[in-house]
Chains A and B, each alone.
Chain A
Amino acid sequence: MAVAVGRPNNEDLRNLSLSGHVGFDSLPDQLVNKSTSQGFCFNILCVGETGIGKSTLMDTLFNTKFESDPATHNEPGVRLKARSYELQESNVRLKLTIVDTVGFGDQINKDDSYKPIVEYIDAQFEAYLQEELKIKRSLFNYHDTRIHACLYFIAPTGHSLKSLDLVTMKKLDSKVNIIPIIAKADTIAKNELHKFKSKIMSELVSNGVQIYQFPTDEETVAEINATMSVHLPFAVVGSTEEVKIGNKMAKARQYPWGVVQVENENHCDFVKLREMLIRVNMEDLREQTHTRHYELYRRCKLEEMGFKDTDPDSKPFSLQETYEAKRNEFLGELQKKEEEMRQMFVMRVKEKEAELKEAEKDLHEKFDLLKRTHQEEKKKVEDKKKELEEEVNNFQKKKAAAQLLQSQAQQAGAQQTKKDKDKKNASFT
């Protein structure tokens, strides 16, 4: 039964005019409803040296107190600590994961400081890739742990970026969306801040570090994103303590010379950061992570494993061939290893056998020796026994002879006595 499928190309797509209300304008709402019921994931990585204010900033950003103890400065290496929290606002459920770099910048030798961070990010991509490549997979339910945003905390020195910062950011820029921020910005004066910011941006550009670009292609967000981008890197101040300002309580830091208000845009860029990170671009950050960084990782990983997209006129499902080839290769290697092990095993067995044989021989000898000694002993004992028996026999014979003699003598005596008696009797008559 022949089947002809008439399917027009994309060029034949025509716009159809509707003569009435169909109703699919509710589609975005349907989509949003579905997403709300499923909840959202958002993962932030905070990179910065110990004590620069990462935990405080997170607390301030999300208006809550995430439990955490301040880290010590004695960490031997950089360690990543991840914590997950469930936040809910109206009907939106957010599963927020905050990853902290503990011990970053504390070591004397900081050559390898960036490595644990890169490894962690890669590990999350790897986990997602594994899930995606499984046969029976459940991407629908998958808890996405890939880092969506990396907040890089720059120390407020007022001069320029440290070389550690440059190196780390360079390593991270192709793997994650980097948003650089100047921490503890209340230690920098306003005029210095401006110079500091431009110095940082120019250094980033000259070193080719690609930080996250706020999207400017949609009219609704283009304007706000464009204005905000000018203020990068955001100079932030974090605080969870509230101070009375005017007649309201506001988050602020109180100094003898004044009060730094966190949410005052003249004092610091915290509000801008919150706008950009959460209220305007959260979805875009997630999408960039998935479509750009993750795809890049996936492509590199698969190419590294030796796959390639073959040209379209080759057999369909080209991955299969490469998979099979790789698998055979691995199986071959496995077999080789097995052989080697088997050889080694056989050799060992032989050695052991030889040893055992030696031991056996020794044992046999010993056994023979013992046997012989035993037999000799036995013979000796038997000889002695014979001697003893002979003596006993002799003794018995002698005894018997003696007894005979005795009895004869007695008899003779008795006869003699009788004879005597008879004689006497006879003489009397």
Chain B
Amino acid sequence: MAGTSKRPCSPCSPCSPCSPCSPQPSSPRPSSCEMFGYVGIEAVLDQLKIKAMKTGFEFNIMVVGRSGLGKSTMVNTLFKSKVWKSSPVNKLGPLPQTLQLQSVTHTIEEKGVKLKLTVTDTPGFGDQINNDKCWDPILNYINDQYERYLQEEVLITRQHHIPDTRVHICVYFVPPTGHCLRPLDIEFLKRLCRVVNVVPVIARADSLTLEEREAFRWQIQEDLKNNGIFVYPQKCFDEDTNDKTLNDKIREKIPFAVVGADREHMVNGKCVLGRKTKWGIIEVENMAHCEFPLLRDLLIRSHMQDLKDITHNVHYENYRVHRLNESHLLTKGAGWVTLSPPTRRTSAGTSRSQRWNREDTESGC
């Protein structure tokens, strides 16, 4: 099991607690009980926190986009450090003839929280003359990570903490043409949104005025809707109304128009990250200038755990189902009933991955 994901139960399910193999009839449904005083159950939250901080967290992010869109700079800005010591591709040399994925892993720590961050870059994406099937290496890479995890999970003697290299979020950089999504973008996004959480961003947004940004954003949203591309946060995973309102606000703003910068400049006596041009300084963290704070908040401050959960509970499970079905494992339970009994529902709600698959085919979401 993933080290940091929890395994708690669904709260409102009317379920029978005993196993099916117990000869005794089990009590039908959990009854709620009033406690007459303080017991101390809520201390479990602190225990959880302490354990999580001790094991540390993992996060894997992938950036995809044509070269020159500022992907590496964006990553550096997001994590306020030189994630890439030097640009992964020598900018002075010839462009790579093939798509090469490059990963770098760092451990960063903030206020006692340790994060093992892996960033995967894709130099050479979309740079060739013929970009047919340029998404294949990326898809293969993502599926490889799932495969690795599956192999570990399937072992007899498993590790306590299976190393999680699965890509949790793929940030797709859309060039700021101002018109609409290009065919390459659409094809790529269509394929990728099914296997991984995708967040498109408008790169180098400092070349668009605010009105142009809004128009471009609206056009992209239309394009996404018309092509059935579901980007993160996906509508079908909103658990309750709170989530829905929060995520709706985010969905309105997707794709974020971002600007990346790793140099600091003095503005009004404060030191801010920004890009200095002859006509002014674009402050990266200023909401009036660009939407970088939204991206940062989404990825790091509010939805990081959710990204990991969806990757683990939905995308990974889908991959696993697909893979196991392919290898004809556990189908046709002839004589093998002990390993794969007929689907026994233990909860009232459908699981997220089933909702995702079902709504996928209905093209709802």
List A residues at the B interface (Cβ < 8 Å).
1-8, 10, 12-41, 43, 61-67, 79-95, 97, 119-120, 123-124, 126-127, 130-131, 133-145, 218, 220-221, 274-275, 278-284, 287, 290-291, 295, 298-299, 302-303, 305, 307-309, 316-317, 319-320, 323-324, 326-327, 330-331, 333-334
Q: Which residues of A contact B6 (CB under 8 A)?
A: 31, 34-35, 38
Q: Find out whether the CB atom of B8 lies under 8 angstroms from the CB atom of A61.
A: no
Q: Footprint of A on B, CB under 8 Å?
A: 1, 4, 6-11, 13, 15, 17-22, 24, 26-27, 29-45, 47-54, 57, 59, 78-83, 88, 98-113, 115-117, 133-134, 136-137, 140-141, 151, 154-158, 160, 239-240, 273, 296-297, 300-306, 309, 313, 317, 320-321, 324-325, 327-331, 334-336, 338-341, 343, 346-347, 349-354
Q: Are A5 and B18 in contact (CB under 8 A)?
A: no
CB-CB nearest 3 A-B residue pairs = A330-B335, A138-B351, A84-B30
Q: Which residues of A contact B27 (CB under 8 A)?
A: 82-84
The answer to whether B41 touches A92, judged by C-beta atoms less than 8 angstroms apart, is: yes
Q: How far is the CB of A391 from chain B (nearest CB, A)?
A: 86
Shortest CB distance B354–A (Å): 7
CB contact under 8 A between A5 and B103, given known A82-B17, A135-B340: yes
B15 CB, nearest partner CB in chain A, Å: 5
Q: Say which residue of A39, A61, A280 sits within 8 Å of B9 (CB atoms).
A: A39
Check B157–A142 contact: CB distance below 8 A.
no
Q: Which residues of A have CB within 8 Å of B81? A: 16-19
Pair A317/B151 contact, Cβ less than 8 Å: yes
Considering the complex, give the chain A residue whose CB is closest to the CB of B26.
Answer: A82
Docked Cα-Cα span, A131 to B317, in Å, equals: 13
> Which chain A positions have C-beta within 8 A of B112?
25
A16 is contacted by which of B108, B140, B335 (Cβ under 8 Å)? Answer: B108
Chain B residues with Cβ below 8 Å from A92 are 41-42, 44-45
Q: Give 9 A-B contacts (CB < 8 Å), ordered by A residue.
A: A79-B24, A82-B24, A126-B19, A127-B19, A144-B7, A220-B50, A308-B156, A327-B334, A331-B334
Q: Known contacts being A138-B351, A327-B334, is A25 close to B113, with CB within 8 Å?
A: yes
Beta-carbon contact of A137 and B19 below 8 Å: no
Q: Which residues of B contact A14 (CB under 8 A)?
A: 106-107
Secondary structure at the B interface, as helix, strand, loop or mixed, is: loop
List chain B residues, Cβ under 8 A from A20.
80, 273
Taking a contact as CB atoms under 8 Å apart, the answer to whether B30 and A93 are in contact is: no
On chain B, the residues within 8 Å of A62 by CB distance are 33, 35, 39
Q: Which of B38, B111, B324 has the most CB of A within 10 A?
A: B324
Q: How far is the CA of A364 from the CA of B237 in the complex (A)?
A: 79
Complex: how many Å from CA A38 to CA B47? 16
A25: chain B residues at CB < 8 Å are: 110-113
Known: A39-B11, A139-B7. A97 touches B156 (CB 8 A): no
Closest to A332 in B: B335
Out of B151, B155, B321, which one reaches A136, CB within 8 Å? B321
Asked, given contacts A27-B57, A143-B17, whether A133 binds B339 with beta carbons under 8 Å apart, the answer is: yes
- State whether A27 touches B41 (Cβ < 8 A): no
A282 with B44: CB separation less than 8 A: yes
Q: How far is the CA of A15 from the CA of B115 in the complex (A)?
A: 10
Which chain A residue has the least Cβ–Cβ distance from B163?
A10
A301 to B: closest C-beta gap in Å? 10
Contacting A123 at CB < 8 Å: which of B22, B52, B104, B109? Answer: B22
In contact, A283 and B47 (Cβ under 8 angstroms): yes
Q: Do A320 and B103 touch (CB < 8 A)?
A: no
Contact B300–A22 (Cβ < 8 Å) = yes
Residues of B within 8 A of A89 (CB): 35, 38-42
Closest chain B residue, CB of each to CB of A286:
B7
Q: Please, how many angstroms separate the alpha-carbon atoms of A80 and B23 in the complex?
A: 9
Are B313 and A140 in contact (CB-based, < 8 A)? yes
Are the CB atoms of A144 and B49 closer together than 8 Å? no
A114 to chain B, nearest CB (A): 16
